[in-house]
Amino acid sequence: MQRTYIADLAKNVGQEVLIQGWIHVRRDQGKMVFFDFRDMSGLVQGVVLPGSEAIETAKNTREEFVVGVRGRVNERPERNRQADKQNGSIELEVLGIDILNTSEPLPYNVHDDTLGINEEIRLKHRFLDLRNSRLQKNIRNRDAVIHLVRNTLHDQHFIEVETPILTKSTPEGARDFIVPSRKWPGSFFALPQSPQQYKQLLMSGGVERYFQVAKCMRDEDGRGDRQPEFTQLDMEMSFVERGDVMALNEQLLISIVTELYPEKKIQEIPFPRISYKDAMAKYGNDRPDVRNDKNDPNLLAFCWVVDFPFFERTDKSDNPDGKGEWTYTHNPFSRPLPEHMANLIEKKNIGDIITSQYDIVLNGFEIGGGSIRNHEADALHTVFQILGHDGDKIEKDFGHMLTAFKLGTPPHGGIAWGLDRLVMLLQNEANIREVIAFPKTGEGKDLMMNAPSDVSEAQLKELGVQIQPIK
């Protein structure tokens, strides 16, 4: 017999059907037993009438047993209808129950919101937490966002390309997660902090319009809106200017809200643009919360922050002139604004050079950032010179980029969204863990898998790795 989803039962009144799912609640009345059955589509009440052949099995079931239930869909008696509930006007008259798996009592109740449950216990039993309706909504709506973005970008001639997970340690940026190489003892892969270099090289490779739902890893300490492993919605386009990337992304975000979150309203369209200087002066940070009403859970206030300085001094003042070294504020691969290119090439007024960088901010959270890139080898080389790298180091670390740029790389630019953070805000969650199926703790552990963990002596020996205690 073909399975019917619980959400479709109302279309089958009077029919005999088979549903499959979990026993959500059992209410044993003695001679008759009521159930709430649950599958991914919802809940329905089942009733085992007195004298039913199913009564014996019904008595032996418990919450969270996995069952196949054969039954007849009936209209409920008038006085037993519940207008506020899914399937509140129908019920399933249970004719037979097939127990597909039993369940011991759960460590905690997953029917009510699990936000109040000890976080450690929730994370250890994440597979149970995911049964909770709030978590189900979060991961399903996350999928809806990704689905919409994939469809929209494909319609606009983007292709999704996967880039390597085993890659090279980047001398700049966050701390890398590193992976020892067996074939080359003493050498290490690094996990990508972002697909930045690969996506630019895809532009060199003639892909022109790329995107990827990309896993990124940064070995830094966590926050409520930060995980060591997270997902970027990454894209890059050739032959575009700053306004093209911003317009495309603005439209994409508007589509997500209007199509998937119709109850929410966007405060201002087109999204306001604030310069870094104004944001710092007016809000004291570069991710301003521009909401008119911070208590409205359905208000989404997007804004762009632009015109960041390309370089800033490090806070170390160990130089003879008392000033720190130059470092970049966002991304060394960014291109200055067109009118600032001359200063970069001539290394003049370095602190005044403005980058093409644009950050997209939502309700005080940075949900994405990008720029037009330096596609000319000389310009990129100059950036690294300003950053204090000598020629050999530039060649060793970024030679592949410079070579590509000397071999016909088109002008290009792009952006990357922090997908988890965006979904967190759309789902009105206070923590990024709530929208990630299997998140890590603030200390970067997976409590369910118990990772990271020891590896065997044999594995270490094969890798030529020795463990030394860290003091």
Footprint on this chain of RNA (rule: CB under 7 A): 25-32, 34, 36, 45, 47, 49-51, 62-63, 76-77, 79-82, 85, 91, 105-109, 112, 116-121, 123, 170, 172-175, 193-194, 196, 218, 220-226, 315, 327-332, 431, 433, 441-443, 445, 447
Q: How far is the CB of 269 from RNA (least distance, A)?
A: 28
CA distance 3 to 339: 65
The tokens of 247 are what?
């317009």
Collapsed DSSP state (helix, strand, coil) of residue 184: coil
Give the nearer residue to RNA in terms of CB position, either 106 or 260: 106
Residue of 22, 7, 12, 18 lying closest to 73 (CA atoms):
12
Give the nearer residue to RNA in terms of CB position, either 227 or 409: 227
Q: What is the residue type of 426?
A: L
Q: How far is the CB of 30 from RNA (least distance, A)?
A: 3
Q: How far is the CB of 93 from RNA (least distance, A)?
A: 8
- 10 Å CB burial of residue 431 (0-12, 13-18, 19+) is middle
Give the nearer residue to RNA in terms of CB position, either 116 or 320: 116
Which residues are registered as beta bridge partners of 416?
234, 369
Give the nearer residue to RNA in terms of CB position, either 3 or 27: 27
Residue that has been written with the tokens 């009592």 in this structure: 105
Q: How far is the CB of 15 from RNA (least distance, A)?
A: 17
Q: How far is the CB of 105 from RNA (least distance, A)?
A: 4
Give the nearer residue to RNA in terms of CB position, either 205 or 224: 224
Within 10 angstroms of residue 391's Cβ, the number of other Cβ atoms is 10
The tokens of 257 are what?
């809200």
The tokens of 49 are what?
């009438």
Collapsed DSSP state (helix, strand, coil) of residue 64: coil
Q: How far is the CB of 391 from RNA (least distance, A)?
A: 20
CA distance 188 to 192: 13
Contact 352, 343 (CB under 8 A): yes
Give the nearer residue to RNA in terms of CB position, either 8 or 63: 63
